[in-house]
Structure formats: C-alpha cells, structure tokens
Amino acid sequence: MSVRPASPAASQPAAHERLYRALRGRIMLGELPPGKALTLRGLAAEHRVSMTPAREAVRRLVAEGALTLSASGRVATPALSVERIEELAALRALIEPELASRALPRAHFALIDRLAAINAAIGDAAQNRDSVGYIRSNLEFHRTLYLRAQAPAMLAMLETIWLQLGPTMRAVYQRSRRNEPPRHHRMILAALRAGDEPGLRLAVRTDVTQGLRHLAADGGL
C-alpha cells in the first residue's frame, strides 16, 4: 500500500504554535520589558493570525509563567517582586550547578572550545551594547553545557525559569553596564578543563545568582 506524502501545509507548525514560539523567544531574550501589556487583538494583528491562535499561545505562556493574567483579563509580561526574584535565583542556584556537574564527565575538549567561542561572542555583544545579543549568547553558553548533562526534565524546568526571568534579566544587564563577558564564565571554563567538580558548581552558582541578587538588594525593578 502506498503512503501519501504529507502536504506542505500539514508539515508546518500550527498558527498558534508559531506565535507561541515567537513570543516565547522574545520574552526569554528580554525583548519585552517587565510589565509590558499585551492584547490578543494586537498579537493577532502583529503576527497575522486570527484571535483563536493568539488566545491559545497566550494561554500556554500564562501557564508557563512567561505572562501574567490579571482578574480583569489584562495580559502582561511579569514584573517580578523582590521575593519572586530571590525565589527564582534560589531555584537557579539549585538546578544549574547540578546540571553542570552532570555535564562534566561529557565535557570533551571540543565542547569546551565551543563554550569559549560563545563566551567571546558574549564579549562582542557587551562591547557593542547589544543587550538582546548578550542575553541570547549567555543563554546559549549555559544551554550548550547543560545539554551534555542528558537530563531533559531538569533542563525543561530550568528553561521555564529562564522564561519567567527574561524581561528582568534585560533590566539586570542594562543596570550593570558591563562591557565584557561575565567573569565567572572564565572560572566555569577553567573548572571544566581541570575536571574540578566542586569548583564548577561554585562558579556556576555564583554566576547565575549574582546579578539577580544585586537587583533584589536594590529593591527590584
């Protein structure tokens, strides 16, 4: 029996999936500021979809904590309280050192070279004051390492935290005015080269929490 090939339309993501992915990426990279109000009508018009896909995409993002939905129906990016920032920083401090530790036995030289190249790209973005490029490369640095942990459930949980923090991380970057890669990335790379598991855990924990805790100490956004 012959099998009919799938039509091009059937192989394309659904409209709500495309909008979900696009909006999710913008939020994670901090392209939308904290507390930014969104409307279903505006999203539908911007992405040239009907209201139904817009509603479904927003529903998924609200479920992930990437958007908030008030009792009055107002949809917005999260404006995190000091307590919420501290909670998410604590979760990162638990999950990311564990992922790095699990990745260490599989951190071959080619991976470390790749991480060093990404870190150089972070430096370029910092020099150019490209905040979105900085956040994108910084997330790529961490994700590239953590993929070697082979712990997909843990990584999925972490990406949800990154998603909630996206708008806030943009604010952290803009306040820091840094013009070079995070200094703890050099410590992460050194620990990977040395096979130093305690040093790796410490470097990752410090790297992922320092900026957020400074922001919390300043009273949030």
- Give the pTM: 0.84
Dihedral angle at the C-alpha atoms of 16, 92, 137, 175, nearest 10 degrees? 100
Structural contact between residues 81 and 220, judged by C-beta atoms closer than 8 angstroms: yes
Give the architecture (CATH level 2) of 82-217.
Up-down Bundle (1.20)
The pLDDT score that the predictor gives to residue 9 is 43
Q: What is the mean pLDDT of each run of 10 residues along the chain (221 residues)?
A: 47 77 91 90 89 91 92 88 89 96 97 97 90 91 97 95 88 70 91 98 92 61 52
What is the rounded CA–CA span in Å between residue 135 and residue 30?
8
For the chain, give every domain's residue range: 8-76, 82-217
Q: Does domain 8-76 have CATH number 3.40.228.10?
A: no
* d(C-alpha 129, C-alpha 16), whole Å: 33
End-to-end Cα spacing for the chain? 62
Is 196 buried (19+), middle (13-18) or exposed (0-12) by CB count in 10 A?
A: middle
Query: In this structure, what are the phi and psi dihedrals at residue 47, rounded to the nearest 5 degrees?
Result: -100, 5
Q: How far is residue 28's CA from residue 94's CA, in Å, rounded to a whole number?
A: 20
CB 95 within 8 A of CB 158: yes
